[in-house]
Homo-oligomer: A and B are copies of this chain.
Amino acid sequence: MNRWPIPDAMRQALNAARAAGAQGEVPIGAVVVRGGEIIAVAANQTREPPDPTGHAEIRALRMAAERLGQERLTDCDLHVTLEPCAMCAGAISHARIARLYYAAPDPKGGAVEHGARVFEQEQCLHAPEVYSGMGEAEAAELLRGFFRERR
């Protein structure tokens, strides 16, 4: 049997997530891509240094904006290993990300297909195209393993 291949950008997001987990950060990774080129790779980093906004998506968007020298990341796609929360979905909208790819859904904290459904609100000025499921099993297992070890 052949597994459907995980796209390269999501593979790199999973690698970033794994590395974060090894540092004691929640293993979630994000990658910004523009025209096939990887612009930013980041993982969750909320503990050291302490930053309540240090989710992978926020960090990747900030890095990409700095690197490209522009506030709006039009023509960029974001690949992230977990369904974004309200904070990150809002940031994705502000950044004008064209396409959002996420691996695993997050019923407990997600705000795309759950809860706040940020992109479906009238107040949302820009909604990306959304795709999910690529690398879902790998992303979910990284999180399960991380929290299992910490119980």
Which residues of A approach B to under 8 Å, CB–CB? 46-47, 49-53, 58, 61-62, 65-66, 68-73, 85-91, 93-96, 107-111, 114-118, 121-125
Contact = CB atoms under 8 A, between A and B. Distances in A.
A123 B108 contact: yes
21 contacts: A49-B65, A49-B66, A50-B70, A50-B71, A51-B62, A51-B66, A52-B71, A52-B72, A53-B58, A85-B94, A86-B116, A86-B118, A86-B124, A87-B87, A87-B93, A89-B90, A90-B90, A107-B123, A111-B123, A115-B121, A116-B117
State the copy count for this chain: 2
Given A108-B123, A114-B123, A66 B88 contact: no
Nearest to A48: B71
Contact of A52 (B86, B95, B111, B117): B95
B125 A121 contact: no
A123 B115 contact: yes
For A110, A115, A117, which residue has the most chain B Cβ atoms within 10 angstroms? A115
Contacts of A86: 86-87, 89-90, 93, 111, 116, 118, 121, 123-124
Contacts of A95: 52-53
Nearest to A46: B71
A85 B70 CA distance: 21
A77 to B, nearest CB: 15
Contacts of A107: 123
